[in-house]
């Protein structure tokens, strides 16, 4: 029983919905009963306008967009069409009267300009045509006479109807050329007539762009996006009358340039021909007859003509720095060096540098994380200055130094390989140099055919020396640790230049600093800060010799020795005292002062930071040799001018 009732109810619902959709019309609200048009204006699908002495103009809806059909096919201006349709939907009369009453008053449609209307508007709704005739202006009130579609009544309406219906063709058409938005574009095709070259770029599922022709290579996504946006920003400047259009004269029979945007199941091709007297290009859309002119920016034109180079990805390697687990450097004649990512128990990322010498166990050391991450960014951004070859011969590889690369950099990636892009993989970058071109370098990715010219900076950034990658932070004392004393000794005379002692009762150096001369307080305070967190600017030698330093000018004796007393408090509260010693050179340049110590890395020599250099310089050279502020010379008293001699006549008077 329940099943029969359910079936009956479903049947009744179907009948009810069928009745609603088939026989009920959508009605626009009309509270005051003044609407000129009925429900038919809610579903307008086409509009045709004719006017006195002008060619017909036809608009047609295609999906969600409106298109001009006559006098030529072109995308319509959505704002102008919306204005027109809204005017029709909400058109109200001030007053109206029946056509049948005209004969009784001795009038005809001609008296209202409706026998030969200024505009005849025919619109199609639900496959039925409706004709609205617009006549003359009223003599007073700035109104219009309109004949209803059934021809039975004359309405007096506002002039805004004529303004919307009478929009010129220039306002009714859209001036944009391409209608495929950037997010929809799936491919970009460019074809030039001279030379005859076809370039096709396609976007993959991951929104990456690549060349399909003339080569299979990566494209620059930013450059492609900028180019497509520039194409979408093009506007038709002037439309030629169809009667005066000549494809041969416009150079469009064999277009000089063809540009195609492909979207979702649609494509649009722009043909560019000759240049007119104003410097604009004759153009047309391939499947449309109308010819127009367009102003093409020189930068866009240059990109389109050399798209195979301008739109190509200049970055040599494609990877994300965060996916690199290890980086291996190989240099001819030097041991292989590796940088390895280490993830701690807390998730913190650190790096270590490892050297591999044949016959010896690997030697790991802490690497400077900031420096390694900076290096990965440099490799990530390594860009081609010039594309040399996409199919190099063996002679080319030898010419550019790839028979024995100056540097080989192998990246081990956690992701990026495999068909799904989520399997571990490796990338090997080779850097070659040519004896004939010392200021340039060349690059290639192993197992790919492309050769690039690059800047040689990457060789300076990737030396195969362990010290270049070592951790720069040599010492960072805990907050409970104290610096108890500090002595700076001139080794040439073995005399103390400065010696400071922290009283055992003091926890900081404020009292000591207060007793010092004013010129010593700032540099000593800065030096104490630098000694608590001792950092190397960079390392200049792998070992340390207490007799002499290795400087760019050669070997020279150390100039100073800096002894620092340290007091470290253990977990049990016991204090452990020690002495830290640094050997120092004189200032070797504006930003260079070397230090050496046997305490770090089994002996190391390094450049001190600029802050430490300034503090040491102020405590050594500046204090001894600085003449102090200039004393201005006394201002001489102004000279007294002698009185001018009296004239002879005045001198003779008593």
How confident is the model over 589-608, as pLDDT tens digits? 889 999 999 999 889 999 99
pLDDT band at 646 (very low <50, low <70, confident <90, very high): low
Beta bridge partners of 451: 389
CA distance 194 to 597: 69
Helix axes 521-532, 610-619, angle to 10 degrees: 140
The domains located in the chain, with CATH, are 39-172 (2.60.40), 182-310 (3.30.1490), 321-469 (2.60.40), 473-625 (2.60.40.4400)
Q: Which residue has the tokens 């004969």?
A: 103
Long-range contacts of 594-597 (CB under 8 A, 24+ apart): 594/540, 594/549, 594/551, 595/536, 596/541, 596/544, 596/545, 596/546, 596/549, 596/558, 597/474, 597/544
Find the Cα–Cα–Cα–Cα dihedral 18, 24, 28, 31, rounded to 10°. -130
CA distance 428 to 445: 6
**Token code pair at residue 315:** 């970055």
pLDDT of residue 16: 63
- Average of per-residue pLDDT across 69-86: 93
**What residues contact residue 462 under an 8 Å CB cut-off, 6+ apart?**
329, 375, 407, 409
- For the ranges 62-71, 237-246, 634-643, the maximum mean pLDDT occurs at 62-71
Pick the residue with more confidence: 23 or 537?
537
pLDDT of residue 468: 93
- Average of per-residue pLDDT across 104-116: 90
pLDDT band at 534 (very low <50, low <70, confident <90, very high): very high
Q: For residue 291, which of 240, 238, 235 has the smallest C-alpha distance?
A: 240
Sign (positive or negative) of CA dihedral 163, 168, 174, 175? negative
pLDDT of residue 134: 93
Q: Is pLDDT at 516 greater than 50 in this prediction?
A: yes
**Token code pair at residue 449:** 């055919």
Q: For residue 77, which of 65, 89, 64, 63 has the smallest C-alpha distance?
A: 65
Helix (H) or strand (E) holding 62: strand 54-62
pTM for the full predicted model: 0.74
Pick the residue with more confidence: 627 or 367?
367
In contact, 549 and 556? CB cutoff 8 Å: yes
CA distance 293 to 227: 20
pLDDT band at 418 (very low <50, low <70, confident <90, very high): very low
Sign (positive or negative) of CA dihedral 321, 326, 330, 335? positive
pLDDT of residue 530: 96
Q: What is the DSSP string of 89-112?
A: HT-BEEEEEEGGGTGGGT--GGGG
CB count in 10 Å sphere of residue 516 = 15
Sheet with 473-476, edge to edge strand ranges: 473-476, 533-541, 604-608, 594-597, 575-584, 560-569, 482-490, 495-501
Q: Is pLDDT at 113 greater than 60 in this prediction?
A: yes
Residues 338-369 as b or e (16 or more Cβ within 10 Å = b): bbbbeeeeeeeeebbbbbeeeeeeeeeebbbb
| Secondary structure (3-state) at 644 | coil
Q: What is the DSSP string of 120-176?
A: EEEEEETTEEEEEEEEEEPSSSSEEEEE-TTSSEEEEEETHHHHHHT--HHHHB--B
Give the whole-number percent of the chain exceeding pLDDT 90.
69
Q: How many helices (H) and strands (E) does the chain have?
A: 17, 37
In contact, 178 and 235? CB cutoff 8 Å: no
Half-sphere exposure for 365 (CA within 13 Å, toward CB):
20
Phi, psi of 494, deg, nearest 5: 55, 40
In contact, 317 and 339? CB cutoff 8 Å: no
pLDDT of residue 7: 63
In contact, 580 and 564? CB cutoff 8 Å: yes
**What residues contact residue 404 under an 8 Å CB cut-off, 6+ apart?**
332
Q: Which residue has the tokens 């016959």?
A: 359
CA distance 371 to 325: 15
Beta bridge partners of 429: 409, 445
The single-letter DSSP state of residue 638 is P
- Average of per-residue pLDDT across 465-492: 93
pLDDT of residue 420: 45
CB count in 10 Å sphere of residue 327 = 22
pLDDT of residue 338: 95
Strand residues in 187-253 grouped as ranges (E): 187-192, 197-203, 209-213, 217-218, 236-239
The bridge status of strand 267-275 relative to strand 336-343 is unpaired
Phi, psi of 118, deg, nearest 5: -65, -40
pLDDT band at 203 (very low <50, low <70, confident <90, very high): very high
pLDDT of residue 357: 76
Q: For residue 603, which of 611, 592, 595 has the smallest C-alpha distance?
A: 595
The overall average pLDDT reported for the chain is 88
pLDDT band at 241 (very low <50, low <70, confident <90, very high): confident
pLDDT band at 19 (very low <50, low <70, confident <90, very high): low
CA distance 143 to 145: 7
């Amino acid at each position: 029983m329940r099943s029969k009732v359910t079936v009956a109810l479903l049947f009744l619902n179907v009948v009810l919905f069928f009745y609603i959709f088939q026989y009920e019309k959508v009605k626009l609200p009309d509270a005051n009963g003044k609407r000129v048009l009925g429900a038919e204006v809610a579903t307008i699908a086409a509009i045709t306008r004719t006017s006195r002495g002008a060619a017909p103009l036809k608009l047609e809806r295609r999906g969600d967009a409106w298109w001009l059909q006559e006098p030529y096919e072109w995308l319509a201006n959505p704002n102008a069409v919306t204005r027109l349709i809204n005017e029709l939907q909400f058109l109200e009369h001030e007053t109206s009267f029946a056509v049948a009453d005209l004969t009784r008053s001795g009038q005809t449609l001609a008296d209202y300009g409706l026998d030969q209307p200024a505009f005849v508007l025919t619109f199609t709704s639900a496959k039925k045509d409706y004709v609205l005739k617009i006549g003359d202006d009223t003599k007073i009130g700035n109104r219009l006479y309109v004949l209803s579609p059934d021809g039975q009544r004359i309405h007096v309406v506002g002039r805004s109807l004529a303004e919307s219906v009478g929009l010129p063709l220039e306002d009714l058409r859209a001036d944009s050329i391409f209608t495929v938005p950037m997010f929809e574009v799936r491919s970009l095709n460019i074809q030039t007539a001279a030379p005859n070259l076809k370039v096709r770029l396609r976007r993959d599922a991951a929104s990456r762009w690549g060349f399909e022709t003339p080569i299979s290579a990566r494209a620059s996504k930013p450059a492609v996006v900028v180019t497509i946006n520039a194409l979408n920003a093009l506007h038709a400047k002037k439309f030629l009358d169809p009667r005066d259009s000549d494809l041969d004269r416009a150079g469009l029979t064999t277009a000089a340039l063809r540009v195609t945007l492909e979207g979702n199941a649609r494509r649009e091709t722009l043909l560019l021909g000759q240049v007119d007297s104003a410097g604009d290009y004759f153009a047309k859309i391939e499947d449309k007859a109308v010819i127009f002119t367009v102003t093409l920016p020189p930068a866009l034109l240059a990109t389109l003509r050399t798209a195979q180079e301008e739109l190509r990805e200049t970055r040599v390697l494609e990877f994300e720095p965060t996916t690199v687990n290890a980086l291996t450097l190989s240099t001819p004649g030097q041991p292989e060096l590796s940088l390895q990512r280490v993830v701690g128990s807390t998730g913190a990322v650190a790096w270590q540098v490892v050297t591999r010498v044949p016959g010896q166990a690997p030697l790991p050391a802490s690497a400077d994380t900031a420096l390694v991450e900076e290096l990965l960014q440099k490799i990530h951004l390594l860009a081609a200055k010039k594309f040399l070859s996409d199919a190099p011969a063996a002679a080319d590889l030898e010419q550019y130094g790839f028979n024995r690369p100056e540097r080989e950099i192998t990246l081990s990636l956690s992701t990026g390989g495999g068909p799904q892009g989520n399997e571990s993989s490796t990338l090997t970058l080779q850097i070659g140099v040519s004896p004939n071109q010392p200021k340039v370098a060349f690059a290639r990715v192993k197992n790919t055919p492309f050769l690039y010219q690059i800047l040689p900076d990457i060789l300076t950034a990737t030396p195969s020396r362990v010290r270049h990658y070592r951790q720069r932070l040599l010492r960072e004392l805990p907050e409970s640790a104290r610096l108890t004393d500090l002595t700076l000794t001139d080794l040439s005379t073995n005399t103390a230049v400065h010696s400071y002692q922290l009283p055992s009762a003091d926890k900081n150096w404020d009292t000591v600093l207060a007793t010092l001369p004013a010129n010593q307080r700032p540099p000593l305070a800065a030096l104490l800060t630098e000694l608590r967190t001792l950092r190397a600017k960079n390392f200049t030698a792998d070992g340390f010799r207490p007799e002499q330093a290795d400087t760019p000018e050669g070997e020279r004796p150390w100039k100073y020795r800096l002894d620092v007393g340290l007091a470290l408090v253990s977990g049990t509260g016991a204090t452990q005292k020690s002495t830290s010693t640094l050997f120092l050179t004189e200032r070797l340049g504006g930003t260079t002062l070397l230090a050496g110590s046997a305490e770090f890395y089994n002996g190391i020599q390094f450049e001190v930071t600029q802050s430490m250099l300034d503090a040491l310089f102020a405590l050594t050279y500046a204090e001894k040799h600085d003449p102090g502020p200039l004393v201005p010379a006394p201002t001489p008293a102004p000279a007294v001018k002698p009185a001018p001699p009296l004239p002879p006549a005045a001198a003779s008077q008593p």
